[in-house]
Structure 1
Amino acid sequence: MSKNEISYISTRNGNESKNFSGAMEQGLARDGGLFIPDRWPDLSDKLWNHIESMSITDIGSALAQTFVPEIPADRLESLVEDAISFDAPLVHLHDDLYVLELFHGPTLAFKDYGARFMARMMSYRAEQASQRMVILVATSGDTGSAVGRAFEGVDNVDVCLLYPSGKVSPLQEQQLTTIGGNVTALEVEGTFDDCQKLVKDAFSDSKLRDELILSSANSINIARLLPQMFYYGRGLAQLEESDSVHFCVPSGNFGNLTAGMMAAQTGMSVGQFIAGTNVNDVVPEFLESGNFSPRASQKTISSAMDVGNPSNLERIRSFYPDVVELRQHLWAASFNDDACRTVIEEVYQSYDYILDPHTAVGYLAANSYRKEQESDQPVIILGTAHPAKFSDIVEPLIDTEIPLPGALKESMEKEKKSVRMYASYPKFKSFLREQYS
């Protein structure tokens, strides 16, 4: 690795250093920390000062070539173009509020960007190393289907999806349990946090990792975050005036927001990051009190955000170790299900726009921030999922049937296939050994 190239170190210490491919394959650092770049290059002149009207693949290629220097630029460009084959349109909602629609990929959720990029990177890595990988994924909703579809049929890669039984929407469950082939769905009796702990325990098990080559496609993996930087740039590229723009992110595990902060570290122009959470409000509470108190998650209608111990807060705190400094960059608020239901109905009636329950949290947070700060600066809300994925919640509120996109209709017609399991690490470890050794 050249001294001029970026390497990846743990959030907990700088002793372990990997190139991008190595950090992607390992997923979690040996000390349990998360990988972050060892430095932040200033891309103002190379990218951000010339962002107007740039395509998402142009933005993606520029960022990827900076952060993945070990892959030849022409091959990397083709990987980006293959992975990001759909845009992220910016929709003007009203006043200075915009929605960046991130649900135009194969599974109609923002996770498609990261999952498809990572699948192609993993496939390239497996091809170069002539090895077989096992991807472990804990999902609270959309991640599982996005990763499963992205890796479906990929050579030399197996995927194991862990999801909490009864705590994802019926449509989400159909999407992630009907892929088959090299993709196995584990239906865990527990919460998303239980699923995430099983994955983390597996990565921390040195004996298991001597037997299997494990990696992760959750937002703990740096390869998921890099492509999520792309669409922040694409949002700015479509805005006529990009000075003092705020980004509002519906947040659960905080990977999506972390990617935006990573882009800001390289010179992306942004006023403030605004995080909207549901009643799982550990981050708003942390910003207010300075004390981080993780706890069991509560079930809500914005199920993909039901996270009581968000992993990526560790990355955010590594960027801004002092909570006083962090407050200058991040504002957060939480909202309950009743508030979400009300705003879905109001936005549809007033602006003929349908919010899913997650984007509704973002809309509430954006309005609350603007009111508290008396701000009239533009806010880009990240629209994280197509409302049809939550038709059972949204349709009764707007009294209108949401047309089911073709990809969702196809999933609903397939047979569910899952393996039920208690949230027990010994049982999970035995399953991995039997399935993949």
Structure 2
Amino acid sequence: MKYISIGQKRQRVTLSEGVFKGLSDEGTLFMPEAIPVLDKTFYSRFHDMSLPEIALNVLLPYVENELGRENLKKIVEETFSFPIPLVKIHDNINVLELFHGPTQAFKDVGARFLSRLMSKLYPNQGKKMIILTATSGDTGGAVAHGFHRVPGIEVVVLYPQGKISPYQENQMTSLGHNIHAIAVEGVFDDCQRLVKQAFNDPSLRKDVSITSANSINLGRLLPQMVYYFFGVAAIQRKFPNLKPVICVPSGNFGNITAAVMASRMGLPVNRFIAATNVNDVVPRFLRTGRYEPHKTIETYANAMDVGDPSNFPRLFYLFKNELEELRKMFSAKVITNEEIIKTIQMVFQQHHYLLDPHSSTGYLGLKQSLQKDENGFFISTAHPIKFVEIIEKVLPQEADRLKKSFSYGVGSSTQLEKMPVSYKALKNKLISL
């Protein structure tokens, strides 16, 4: 398996090169050169497989040449070591819960896989590796925990100051050692631009080895396919041969890109729905055919506050960059702050299920889109404890229960580090590590 960039130059690389470069030489994303279709024998028995067994079968074609089956087996067993249950909420609406990992967010899957993949593939060249990533909330905590105390690796996480939840911030700033969490005086898109500048700076990369743990990295993207196979297997155990509708809360659009990749491997899916907050670049593109990034708008679903989704070019590439091809199997729903809050309250009161703000968009996006003869599931991307301040607005008693049930955070924060939106400041920080 080789990987190609989706820009004009179509740079061709190995898995190791793609993982450690992060972006191509022209600053574009990598994708598999071909997406393999799994054979019928796999689909006849994947309903009875464990999560690590499914992961081994799904990921082996992408990594076998460089990693080998036994190394991959160990990595997936360590990555998928927590449950990912499919839970029925009511009628034809189910939820795939991805928040049972160490930082209570779906990004634990990608971060745990990537850290272990890098430890196997890193060509030790006598200089320290820096993992540089931007986060709108959950990525930072997952990456920090995934790489904490990994020898020879420093982690720098940029996050928008004052625009993530206290719980999210505490998960990043309480670890210390090789984890450097920096509050940037801007929005997520500013953090993301700084990361891209670093990757496209040849003078910096002469001095330090840097790569990304954002969803732009292949090592984050590939393992995200796995839980869609597990979700479809779970729903087909109840409804044999059903092709479900899948709704994914979407900000940077990496998670739903992985879902579409899974379908290209033969996973039976009826269609996909991206649920966004009012940062609606992609829904507007589907309506108008014009892709127009805008300034980020702050919402209750802050991990989805993205005005220019980095992974959308990957998604569009899967549909041959043809809008009509995209529209055939893909739609999008925009969910407002008011709808997020009302949905959290309604689903808890009527169905006794507590949603976080992001999962609220997934529930409502699916509910508004499902036809009577369809069945489906949405992705629950984070545990409500991570957004207890939002839960408090409509369900104060549940918020109190959450605070008592969880240690609110993961420890005492280290001294908070702040930085202006300045590439010079970032570059100096990276060189000094």
TM-score range, shorter chain: over 0.9
Secondary structure of the residue aligned to 2:263 is: helix
Taking the aligned partners of 1:406 and 1:67, their CA distance within structure 2 comes to: 43
State the TM-score, normalized to the length of structure 2: 0.95
Deviation at 1:395, TM superposition (A): 3.1
State the AA in 1 paired with 2:394: L
Q: Which residue of 2 aligns with 1:379?
A: 376
Aligned counterparts, 1:65-144, within 5 A: 65-69=60-64, 70-126=66-122, 132-144=128-140
CA distance in structure 1 between the partners assigned to 2:328 and 2:45 by the alignment = 26
Cα distance in 1 for residues equivalent to 2:141 and 2:280: 25
* 3-state DSSP of counterpart to 2:227: helix
Aligned partner of 2:432 in structure 1 is 434
User: What is the DSSP-based 3-state SS (H/G/I as helix, E as strand, rest coil) of the residue aligned with 2:101?
Assistant: coil
How many residues of Structure 1 are paired with residues of Structure 2 in the alignment? 427
Q: 1:359 to 1:142 in 2, by over 3 A?
A: same
Shift of 1:266: 1.1
User: What SS does the aligned partner of 1:36 have?
Assistant: strand
The CA deviation at 1:132 is 2.7
Give yes or no for contact 1:395–1:401 (8 Å, CA) kept in 2. Answer: yes
> Matches of 1:434 and 1:408 in 2, distance apart?
37
Task: Report the counterpart of residue 7 of structure 2 in structure 1.
Answer: 12
CA contact (8 A) 1:28 1:35 kept: yes
Please show how residues 25-424 of structure 1 align to structure 2 within 5 Å.
25-45=20-40, 47-69=42-64, 70-126=66-122, 132-239=128-235, 240-241=238-239, 242-320=241-319, 321-370=321-370, 374-402=371-399, 403-404=401-402, 409=407, 411=409, 413-424=411-422
Displacement, 1:379? Answer: 1.3
Deviation digits for residues 351-399 of structure 1 (CA, Å, limit 9, x no counterpart): 00000000000111111112xxx34311110000001111111133124
C-alpha deviation, 1:417, in angstroms: 3.0
Match of 2:16 in 1: 21
Amino acid at match of 1:117: F
Unaligned runs of 5+ in 2: none
- Where does structure 1 lack aligned partners over 5 or more consecutive residues? 1-5
1:264-298 CA-to-partner distances (Å, cap 9, x unmatched) read 11111111110000000000000011110001110
CA RMSD of aligned residues (A): 1.7
In the TM superposition, what is the alpha-carbon distance from 1:18 to its structure 2 partner?
1.5
* Distance (Å, rounded) in 1 between the aligned partners of 2:29 and 2:368: 32
Q: Return the alpha-carbon distance in structure 1 between the equivalents of residues 405 and 54 of structure 2.
A: 27
Conserved? CA contact 1:171–1:408, under 8 Å: no
1:132-160 deviation line (CA, Å, top 9, x unaligned): 31001100000000000010011121100
Q: Report the CA distance shift for 1:328/1:287 in structure 2 as closer, same or farther (over 3 A).
A: same
Q: CA deviation at 1:410?
A: 6.3
CA contact (8 A) 1:53 1:238 kept: no
Taking the aligned partners of 1:124 and 1:13, their CA distance within structure 2 comes to: 31
Asked if 2 retains the 8 angstrom alpha-carbon contact of 1:244 and 1:269, the reply is yes
SS of aligned partner of 1:430 = helix
Which digits, 9 at most, give the CA deviation of each residue in 1:294-319, with x for residues without a partner? 01110001000000000110001111
Sort the Cα spacing of 1:86 and 1:405 in 2 relative to 1 into closer, same or farther, 3 A. farther
Tell which deviates more after alignment, 406-415 or 340-349: 406-415
Give the 3-state SS of the residue equivalent to 1:382 in structure 2: strand
SS at match of 2:48: coil
Shift of residue 39, structure 1, vs aligned partner: 0.7
Aligned to 1:3: none
1:407 shift after superposition? 10
1:394-427 Cα offsets, whole Å, 9 max, x none, are 1331242344489961635412433210011112
Cα distance in structure 1, aligned partners of 2:214 and 2:369:
29
How many percent identity over aligned positions?
A: 42
8 A contact 1:42–1:266 mirrored in 2: yes
| 3-state SS of 1:68 partner | helix
Q: Distance in 2 between matches of 1:94 and 1:56?
A: 25
**Equivalent position amino acid for 1:389 in 2:** K
- CA distance in 2 between counterparts of 1:414 and 1:12 reads 44
Query: Does the 8 Å CA contact 1:123/1:155 hold for their aligned counterparts?
Result: no
CA distance in 2, matches of 1:418, 1:174: 10
**TM-score in terms of structure 1 length:** 0.94
DSSP-derived class of the 2:398 partner: coil
Aligned partners of 1:44 and 1:266 also within 8 Å = no
249-258 or 70-79, which deviates more: 70-79
Closer, same or farther: CA 46–410 of 1 in aligned 2, 3 Å: farther
2: CA distance between counterparts of 1:46 and 1:198? Answer: 46
Residues 123 and 157, structure 1, Cα contact 8 Å, conserved in 2: no
